[in-house]
Amino acid sequence: MAYRKYKLSLVFRFLAIFCLLMIFAFATLTLDFDTNALASIVTLIPIALILILVINNLFNFILKRHQSIHDFFESVKYRDFSHWFNEYSGPEDIRELHVGFNAVNQSIINIKRDKETHYLYLQKILELIDAGIVAYSVNTGDIIWINDSFKKLLQIPTLKNIQFVKKRYRSTFKTVFETKRINGSTISLETKKEKKKVLISGANFKMDNDEFKLIVLQNIDNTLSQNQSEAWTKLLSVLTHEIMNSIAPISSLAETLQTKIKLSEEDPELNPLEIDDLNLSIESIKKRSEGLMKFAKTYRGLSKINSISVRKVSVKELFEGISNLLHSSLKSKHIELQFVLDNPKLQIEIDNSLIEQVLINLILNAVEACKDSKNPKIIISAKQPIEGSAIIRVSDNGKGIPDEIVDKIFIPFFSSKKNGSGIGLSLCQQIMFLHKGEIQVKSIENSGTVIRLVF
């Protein structure tokens, strides 16, 4: 309505200018300047003054709107999202424009606040894990995540860049940060006060076109026998595997959000911010962060996995959460992810965070299996026959599992992948056992795989 009034006001002013110009031109042609110059000039002056006033009014009319838009872009340019535009006085179309500007500013403030909250979630997760963990930029060496356990291992009160370690403990820097090792290797860590044995595991990941590295250290000196050392190696593999499985989709979703915000900052009219989409994405990040936090608490020791928190969960909401989390990363790989639910009201009594972890593991395995397929496709479906068990089905059209190893895939630490840890499917099976359910596999080599979670 306000935009319609704005257009009518603009058209009216242009018509007024056109009519005044026509009158002025007509008067100029018809008046006799030779015989009665003074009267002619007196006649033209009021018309000219009115024309100037109307043109000035049009100029101010347009300038006010452009000034509001300019002020908004200036606030975006200098990241001053606290700027408030007056919504209660002035023309209706400008007030409506100000309402939109204030909504965008508030959305960006909320996004920044949520981003800070999610950062605190990750910090808490790092502190909950006994092993020392550090994540840093490969290019600059700047630390992005570090927990107290890592600083205690290196006997460093604070650390902002890994170059500090190089200056203080050159041999430790070479051992931990420079030497390439197989995950789960045992190394000697030397500090000024002592020398200790630790297990080291690492993984690289990319975010915002920058490469980062995650390193996990576990002190095993004078506390573990050889068998215990092997158990810690496997535990570190579990932690690294599960943390990276959750961080990867969170990173991808955060990168997509950042891209949308940048595009909106550059051209808010062409790329408007969809508040519902932003809230949905942020909610997905929050849920996965909470799930990862719960995972960290639960898996501080694998022997402690003996209980779950079961409640009735909407399968539709479970699917939507996973879809929001993985959609961006799978879309970039040109893999179709489809969710099929015959009964939108279907509910299952499960531990939401752990089953979400299971489905993420299965989907990522399916991604790996069908990455070389012509039209890669992953279908997640759920149903519950009358008086039957609820079933969640994960199927893909990938390369399938060879018959000779299909019976071994749930054996802990068995993997057919070159760099696989062999704990993903065994962990899925363990979680299903806790739910008093089972996980079933049917696979045809070079055709695809179907995995059923029966509750």
| Distant-in-sequence, close-in-space partners of 63: CB < 8 Å, separation ≥ 6 | none
Q: Which of 17, 36, 1, 424 is nearest to 238 (CA)?
A: 424
Burial of 241 (0-12, 13-18, 19+ CB in 10 A): buried
Report d(CA 360, CA 399) in Å as an integer: 19
SS3 393: strand
Report d(CA 342, CA 38) in Å as an integer: 89
| pLDDT of 451 | 92
Helix residue ranges, H only, 267-351: 275-298, 315-332
| pLDDT of 89 | 76
Count Cβ atoms below 10 Å from residue 396 Cβ, excluding itself. 27
> DSSP code of 397?
-
Token pair in block for residue 258: 């950042």
Q: Which amino acid is at 122?
A: L
| Distant-in-sequence, close-in-space partners of 66: CB < 8 Å, separation ≥ 6 | none
Report d(CA 199, CA 238) in Å as an integer: 13
| pLDDT of 393 | 94
| 305 and 434 Cβ atoms separated by less than 8 Å | yes
Q: Which of 339, 325, 344 is nearest to 379 (CA)?
A: 339
Ramachandran bin of 131, using left for φ above 0, alpha for ψ from -120 to 50, beta for the remaining angles:
beta
| pLDDT of 363 | 92
Going from the first residue of the chain to its last (455 residues), give the mean pLDDT of each consecutive group of 10, the final group possibly shorter: 67 83 82 73 81 82 76 76 76 76 81 80 71 86 84 83 84 82 75 72 82 84 49 60 71 78 78 75 76 62 60 92 86 89 91 90 89 89 85 92 81 64 75 86 89 91
Token pair in block for residue 135: 């994540």
Token pair in block for residue 383: 């149903």
Q: What is the DSSP string of 220-234?
A: -TTT--HHHHHHHHH
| pLDDT of 315 | 93
Pairing of strands 336-341, 377-383: parallel
> DSSP code of 302?
G
| pLDDT of 416 | 67
> DSSP code of 339?
E
Report d(CA 49, CA 43) in Å as an integer: 11
Burial of 121 (0-12, 13-18, 19+ CB in 10 A): middle
Give, in degrees to the nearest 5, the angle at Cα 373 between 371 and 376. 75
Maximum distance among all Cα pairs of the chain, rounded to whole angstroms: 121
Report d(CA 326, CA 330) in Å as an integer: 6
Report d(CA 38, CA 80) in Å as an integer: 58
| pLDDT of 346 | 92
Residue where the block lists tokens 């895939």 = 409
Phi/psi of residue 144, each to 5°?
A: -110, -30
Count Cβ atoms below 10 Å from residue 395 Cβ, excluding itself. 21
Q: What is the DSSP string of 145-179?
A: EE-HHHHHHHT-S--SBTHHHHHH-HHHHIIIIIS
